[in-house]
Amino acid sequence: MRIVAIANQKGGCGKTTTAINLSASFAQLGKKTLLIDLDPQGHASFGMGVETQKLEESIYHLLADRKKTESQKCIVNFKKNLDIMPSHVLLSTLEQEFKEMPNAVLRLNEVIQSLSSHYDYVVIDSPPSLGFLTFSALRASNRVIIPIETSSFSLVGLNKLLSMIELIKVKLYHTTIVSGLVTIYDKRVRYSQLMLQEIKKCFNENLLETVIRINISLREAASFGKPVIEYSRYSSGAKDYLKLGNEILNDNKTRNLDTFYRDAERLISRSRSTLVKFAIHCPEARYVYIVGDFNDWTLDDKSLLDRGGNGSWQKSFTLKPGKYKYKFVVDGRWIHDPDNPKCEDNIFGSYDSILTLE
């Protein structure tokens, strides 16, 4: 039995969508699959058409009092080869309930192992946080899939998740395969294309080849309580998740996790942004622009500085770490920043101001 945890503390990255549709894909490919909804919000349960408020027993009851709760009573059948163990809002209280209990983090693993004869795959939808529930899911898993959508905030918190996985390896002597999965990818957006290349550089062989494209059918299917393959089997969403299921079933790669951790930290560092304020004192100016590498040297309304008091002009930009050349344009005259001594020659025989962000 293989156990796959879907984890990312950032919301909106396609975590639950992946848990639901990867489970359905495994089932479609002939594998007996159990989806465990470990998120107290119960989104995976909702996305599978389960009304959790009507259930008497759930994964919470099984974890809280395993001796008095039968596993089979906590399982809901969705279709052939696909079952779900629904969530319960009281999952959010487990960490407090287990505070004095040694080895509480192993409870989920024990529950799953007791079902090993019934399933080929177990998929765990972790909550979007790094508390007890996610820790339990990581400890129970053979593989962790980290969904990463291609936006500027997609890598926020990734270093904390990787640190937790590393902690499990060191403290609990449990090593799991870590795989990145690109989700909500829109090839029409240039920034998405750039982020995809950055993510590939970071994850290398630890990045799954399948890319989950943005597709309205994925959202619609969840609202109808179905996996996308049941809602729109010929949609790009259904095709992408079937491809992902096949890729994981046939994945026999060996991986260097130490290299992955190092490269991931480098990418996370590069992805951090800083708000930078540019200012210049020009009391007689009628208008002032700022142009540079960060705005493709473009003179437009977005590069026009705001006039402040005492003859000052200023504007702020959110920039990633790197080296930037820039200039001010004052009433049509291109000048370097008089308050920044760092300059470089340019091909026009003048100077460009230099800003370096670490």
> How confident is the model over 146-155, as pLDDT tens digits?
898 886 555 6
> How confident is the model over 268-287, as pLDDT tens digits?
555 566 788 999 999 999 99
Domains, the chain:
2-271 (3.40.50.300), 274-357 (2.60.40.10)
Q: Who's near 334: CB < 8 A, 6+ residues apart? A: 327, 328, 350
Which amino acid, residue 278?
A: F
Q: Take residue 29 and report the two structure tokens written for it.
A: 């490919």
Per-residue pLDDT band for 120 (boundaries 50, 70, 90) equals very high
Cα–Cα distance measured from residue 13 to residue 8, given in angstroms and rounded to the nearest whole number:
8
Cα–Cα distance measured from residue 20 to residue 145, given in angstroms and rounded to the nearest whole number:
13
pTM for this model (two decimals): 0.71
> How confident is the model over 128-172, as pLDDT tens digits?
887 889 889 988 998 999 898 886 555 665 666 677 677 677 666
Task: Walk across the sheet containing 306-307 and list its strands.
Answer: 274-281, 312-319, 306-307
User: What percent of the chain is modeled with pLDDT above 70?
Assistant: 87
**Secondary structure of 13-77 as H, E, C letters:** CCHHHHHHHHHHHHHHCCCCEEEEECCCCCHHHHHCCCCHHHCCCCHHHHHHCCCCCCHHHHCEE
Mean pLDDT of the chain: 86
31: pLDDT strictly greater than 70: yes
240: pLDDT strictly greater than 90: yes
Cα–Cα distance measured from residue 168 to residue 225, given in angstroms and rounded to the nearest whole number:
34
10: pLDDT strictly greater than 90: no
> How confident is the model over 57-113, as pLDDT tens digits?
889 888 887 666 788 888 999 999 999 999 998 888 887 888 777 788 888 999 999
